[in-house]
Amino acid sequence: MVDRILELPEGTRAKIAAPIVRDQKGAFEDRFSDLVSEGYARVEVDGEAYDLTVETPELDENFDHTVDIVVDRVKVSADARSRITDSVETALTEADGVLKVIVPDPPADAAETLGGSTARSTGDIAGSGESEDHSDRDRLVVELSEDLACTHCGIDISEIETRSFSFNSPHGACPECEGLGETKEVSEDLVIRDPTKPLKNVFEPWSYNRTYYSRQLDNVAEHFGVSLETPFEEIDPEIRRQFLYGTDDVVHFEWTTKNGTREKTERFEGVIPNLERRHVETDSDRAREHIEEYMATTTCPACEGTRLKAESRAVLVDGTSITAVNRLSIGDALEHFEGMEADLSERDRTIAEEILKEIRARLGFMTEVGLEYLTLDREAATLSGGESQRIRLATQIGSGLVGVLYVLDEPSIGLHQRDNDRLLNTLAELRDLGNTLLVVEHDTETMRRADTIVDMGPGPGRRGGEIVAQGSPEDIVDSDRS
């Protein structure tokens, strides 16, 4: 925090303040007196400055207020490092790890320099006793925390780890969808496939022949004064909604058992809430599978399909979140990471140097095998066989293994000739590392680049199965049998 403040232009005036309350009035008049005895003369209440030695601010008990202790007012310079350090430590102590940097007349790039959560305000910020008047001029307020937390949105990360950015780990996965990026919800269209059916038969998951469901429908229909034989689409829309999602008022339920008549009065749960509850509570796989027939898969509303929890998505590197990078194609991602060091501070550059080198290498391997068009968040199930094979191939290039036999089945399928040349260069690179590649191919260029060809024949299918020629590409050309 000290270094950020010192990065402001020489001579910039700044206040270092401790935000000590975001609550209603309480007994804060006494607290103001305590601040004076502790040596603090100035505070800001809701952005307005006061000198406590002159007057005590009056707080409206009907509203929440922000009270900030002005710990120090400094001019930024290298000589002021010790003073700024002491003031920062004091503010963090007073405010339990939080402080504000208030710049009354900020330079153009002050917000970017300080980082954190910023808020600009304009107008007269000087109250009684404030010697500095910055009427009608911008000021910059930046709130910083010594924890990995945002004081405005409430996001708090205990520790940033690799697993924090993996949706396969509970430390990074969205708690709503458990890292799947999608949720299952009971669909109204699946529950009611034919709205022309009578009320008693319209709900597909409920069988009117079962006593529990018939009792529910009988009593709710009586409550609304509708016939069970009425087509569902002809019922009032508001009543239809309450059948599906539960009644607004209580319903009198009455049914007959072998021991007599029973009664109870309660809200009707609704068909869809009933299915959702049973899907969660049931221990029966058969019952769960039955309910899932009436559920549709939708994008998780909490993580918007990114699979990561909000805390992980809030972490930015050079102003970009991991979810934004994941949406890039491999080619665009490689371009994004090229030269990123130039935008980082010296400290961050030291941390990121080896990581960026590894990222660029892996993206480069994927580009070499002609996969730069794929997005990083592409699901494996949507890849073609050739794409999956080339991804595994790129992984092997990055592993740097030697003495391995690789078997590839027509890796050039679907590739443009330009990309095919890059693929062949990749295969040659794997060979040159000290590996053997057995490639099943019909591509002419692949055969020309091979060290040895084994020609199987003499015909396809049942007419094949024999080695009709073997040797270099030149030997195959010269063979009468090939």
User: What is the DSSP secondary-structure string of 315-379?
Assistant: -EETTEEHHHHHTSBHHHHHHHHTTGGGGS-HHHHHHHHHHHHHHHHHHHHHHHTT-TTSBTT--
Tokens of 382: 């949507």
**405-409 and 436-440 strand pairing:** parallel
Which pLDDT value is given to residue 436?
Answer: 95
> What is the rounded distance in angstroms from the CA atom of residue 450 to the CA atom of residue 443?
11
Contact between 296 and 190 (Cβ < 8 Å):
yes
- The pLDDT of residue 39 is 85
352: Cβ contacts below 8 Å, ≥ 6 apart: 317, 340, 341, 344
Residues 130 and 43: beta-carbon distance below 8 Å: no
Query: What angle do helix axes 237-245 and 271-281 make, rounded to 10 degrees?
Result: 10
Which domain, by its residues, includes 418? Answer: 385-451
- Give the predicted TM-score (pTM) of the model: 0.62
From the CB of residue 338, how many other CB atoms can be counted at a distance below 10 Å? 12
Q: Where are the beta strands (DSSP E) in 258-307?
A: 260-267, 295-299
* Residue of 290 and 414 predicted with greater confidence: 290
pLDDT, tens only, 262-299? 889 999 999 999 999 999 999 999 999 999 999 999 89
- 356 and 405 together in one domain: no
User: How far is the C-alpha of 5 from the C-alpha of 103, rounded, in Å?
Assistant: 10
Same domain, 141 and 58: yes
Instruction: State mean pLDDT over 363-386.
Output: 89
pLDDT score, position 142: 85
pLDDT at position 302: 92
Task: Please indicate, yes or no, if residue 464 is contained in any of the structural domains.
Answer: no
Question: Region 384-407: what's the mean pLDDT?
Answer: 85
pLDDT at 129: 36
* pLDDT for 132: 46
Work out the pLDDT band at 28, boundaries 50, 70, 90: low
pLDDT at 16: 87
* pLDDT at 119 > cutoff 90: no
Do 364 and 392 fall within a single domain? no
Mean pLDDT throughout 443-465? 91
Structure tokens at 170: 């509970």
What pLDDT score was predicted for residue 311? 87
| Cα 235 to chain centroid, rounded | 42
Domain identity same for 15 and 87: yes
State the chain's mean pLDDT as an integer. Answer: 85
- How large is the average pLDDT for residues 433-443? 92
Residue 379 CB-density burial (10 A; 0-12 exposed, 13-18 middle, 19+ buried): exposed
What pLDDT score was predicted for residue 1? 77
The reply to whether 305 falls in a domain is no
Same domain, residue pair 74 and 16: yes
C-alpha span between 188 and 243 (Å, rounded): 11
Residue 222 sits in the same domain as residue 354: no
Q: How far is Cα of residue 99 from the mean position of the Cα atoms in its chain?
A: 28
Judge if 206 and 247 occupy the same domain.
yes
Q: Which of 337, 368, 399 is the last residue of a domain?
A: 368
Span 97-119, average pLDDT: 75
Q: Over the stretch 197-217, which tens digit does the pLDDT of each residue have?
A: 999 999 999 988 888 899 899
What local confidence, expressed as pLDDT, does residue 24 receive? 47
Q: Taking a C-beta distance cutoff of 8 angstroms, is the pair 244, 205 a contact?
A: no
DSSP-assigned states of every residue in 11-50 = T-EEEEEEEEEEE--TTHHHHHHHHHHTT--EEEETTEEE
More confident residue, 22 or 326: 326
Instruction: Note whether 15 and 150 are same-domain residues.
Output: yes
Residues 10 and 123 in one domain: yes
Q: What is the pLDDT of residues 222-267, one digit of tens each?
A: 999 999 999 999 999 999 999 999 999 999 998 887 787 888 999 9
Lookup result for tokens 């680049």: 449
Q: Is the pLDDT of residue 166 over 70?
A: yes
Domain match, 32 and 98 both? yes
Burial of 315 (0-12, 13-18, 19+ CB in 10 A): middle
**Same domain as 420, residue 350:** no
Give me the residues paired with residue 48 across strands. Answer: 45
Confidence at residue 40, expressed as pLDDT on a 0 to 100 scale:
86
89-98, 245-254, 300-309: least confident range = 89-98
**Whole-number Cα distances in Å, 303 to 121, 150, 171:** 32, 19, 14
The answer to whether residue 311 sits within a structural domain is: no
Q: In this predicted structure, what is the pLDDT of residue 125? A: 35
Among 368, 393, 426, identify where a domain stops.
368
pLDDT per residue as tens digits for the range 141-165: 888 888 777 666 667 777 788 899 9
State pLDDT tens for residues 341-355: 888 888 888 989 999
CATH of residue 399: 3.40.50.300
**In the chain, how many domains are there?**
4
Distance CA 235, CA 202 (A): 12
* pLDDT tens, residue by residue, 38-65: 888 888 888 888 888 888 887 777 777 7
The pLDDT, as a whole number, for residue 212 is: 86
Q: Give the C-alpha separation, 369 to 416, whole Å.
A: 11
In a domain, 398, yes or no: yes
331 and 413 assigned to the same domain: no
Q: Quick check: is 468 in a domain?
A: no
Do the domain assignments include residue 139? yes
Residue 126 pLDDT greater than 50, yes or no: no
CATH number at residue 245: 1.10.8.280
Residue 368 has pLDDT above 60, yes or no: yes
Reply yes or no on whether the pLDDT at 380 is more than 80: yes
Cα dist from 435 to 1, 89, 281, 404, 420, whole Å: 52, 59, 54, 5, 20
Residue 131 pLDDT greater than 50, yes or no: no
Q: Is residue 380 part of a domain?
A: no
> Per mean pLDDT, which range of 184-188, 265-269, 396-400 is the poorest?
396-400
What integer pLDDT is reported at residue 27 of this predicted model?
58
| CB burial string 296-307: b at 16+ within 10 A, e below | eeeebeebebbb
Q: Is residue 105 situated within a structural domain? A: yes
